Chains A and B, each alone.
Chain A
Amino acid sequence: MEDLTTLLDRAAGPAPHSDASGDLTRGRRALARTRRRRGAAGLLAVAAASVVGVGAVRYADRPSPAPRVVEVPEDVTTPATPDASPTGVQLLAQPLEAGPYTFDSTPEGWYVQGAYPQGVTIAREGADLNPSPYSFEG
């Protein structure tokens, strides 16, 4: 009668001859695949951040939407509306360096407020701003 530990040890059989070359090759291939995947994911993140950054600039450059026509009853006095001057942004054909990103054009009168791997924030010069460089609100 034998105890379980002894029988398990016998059932496990002899240790095979260890050769590391195959494991090393498989490991190197797996590491290369992992790095390629991470690289592709990083490029996607950069591309997404660039699209967001350019989109933000273009959005600021967009003309104000056409005013809606509202029928006003005659007995109601319409308040005076302030002049809605369009906030146009002039894009200069010069590259804008923003941390890890470079943009083809530079919005005139704007500067890079925050640049980090996930995105870029820009702000109008002289504007009353939220002190956080990562804030999207003034």
Chain B
Amino acid sequence: MPRRLTGSERDTEFEEFVLAQRGPLVRMARLLTAGDHALAEDLVQTTLTRLYVAWPRVRRAGNPVGYARTSLTHAFVDERRRPHRRETPTDEVLDTRSYDADARPADAVLAALRDLPPRQRAVVVLRHWLDLDIAETARLLSCSTGTVKSQNAKALGHLRAVLEPTITPTTDRRS
């Protein structure tokens, strides 16, 4: 039977994890929120709080980074489902010319991400920034690999339409 974790051991291990992984999690959250730094910080705080509470189970599973990424992605998707965050339909049709040609490419990418529904945005971040394969992305999003493929195709189609010729969206290199 595994030894029960003491409070100070939990604190020490959690602190080490936060010092090493908080930065990458904040960067991931910034992409998920399409540059909303305040919301990104909120999501990371929520994620790390859940992680601390579940720390004994997390360390037994042996993949705290994976747990944190999953928790962060779910926190983001859940946050976007809340009524006050829900997007409202508009008559305005997305116009590629609305992107400032002189804006920094990174800003243009954030603006393009903002137009994507939460799950498509999450797929872009997980697949094309974290470089996760389809199976792992599906596991993180708790959906099928087919859903990941279709969401990825839609997201890349949108990014291509609004960002070309600024960027070359990475295609599905892996499965």
Q: Quick check: is B175 within 8 A (CB to CB) of the other chain?
A: no
Tell me the minimal C-beta distance from A41 to chain B in angstroms. 16
Interface of A is mostly: helix
A7 touches B19 (CB 8 A): no
A77 close to B (CB within 8 Å) = no
A4 with B159, Cβ < 8 A, contacts A16-B26, A18-B23 known: yes
Check B77 for interface membership: any CB of A closer than 8 A: no
Tell yes or no: B67 within 8 A of A by CB.
no
C-alpha spacing A10/B30, complex, angstroms = 11
Q: Which residues of B sit under 8 angstroms from A2, Cβ to Cβ?
A: 105, 166-168
User: Which residues of chain A from 1 to 21 have any CB-CB distance to chain B below 8 Å in the complex?
Assistant: 1-5, 7-13, 15-16, 18, 20
Q: For B109, what are the chain A residues with a Cβ–Cβ distance below 8 Å?
A: 4, 7-8, 10-11
Which of B93-101, B124-132, B133-141 faces chain A?
B124-132
Which residues of B sit under 8 angstroms from A8, Cβ to Cβ?
A: 31, 109, 124-125, 128-129
B166 neighbours in A (Cβ, 8 Å): 1-2
Q: Which of A9, A11, A24, A31 contacts B110 (CB 8 A)?
A: A11
Contact check, A4 vs B110: say whether CB atoms are below 8 A apart: no
CB distance from B17 to the nearest CB of A (A): 8
**A27 on the interface (CB 8 Å rule)?**
yes
**At the interface, yes or no: A71 with Cβ under 8 Å from chain B?**
no
A137 nearest CB across to chain B (Å): 36
Contact B105 A10 (CB under 8 A): yes
With both chains docked as a complex, state the minimum distance between the C-beta of B64 and any C-beta of chain A, in angstroms.
13
CB <8 Å contact, B167 and A3: yes
Contact, CB under 8 Å: B167 / A24: no
Query: Contacts of B27 on A, CB cut-off 8 Å?
Result: 12-13, 15
Tell me the complex Cα distance, A107–B48, Å.
53
Q: Does A68 contact B (CB under 8 A)?
A: no
Residues of A within 8 A of B167 (CB): 1-4, 7
For A4, list chain B residues within 8 Å (CB).
109, 124, 128, 159, 167-170
Tell me the complex Cα distance, A4–B130, Å: 12
Given A4-B159, A7-B105, A11-B110, answer yes or no on A24-B18 (Cβ-Cβ < 8 Å): yes
| A125 nearest CB across to chain B (Å) | 38
A15-B168 in contact given A8-B31, A20-B14, A31-B52 (Cβ < 8 Å): no
Name the residue of chain A whose CB is nearest to the CB of B160.
Answer: A4
B residues near A22, Cβ cutoff 8 Å: 45
The answer to whether B31 and A11 touch across the interface, beta carbons within 8 angstroms, is yes
Inter-subunit contact A26/B49 (CB<8 Å): yes
Chain B residues in 8 Å Cβ range of A26: 45, 48-49, 52
Query: Can you list 5 A-B contacts (CB < 8 A)?
Result: A8-B109, A8-B129, A24-B11, A27-B14, A27-B52
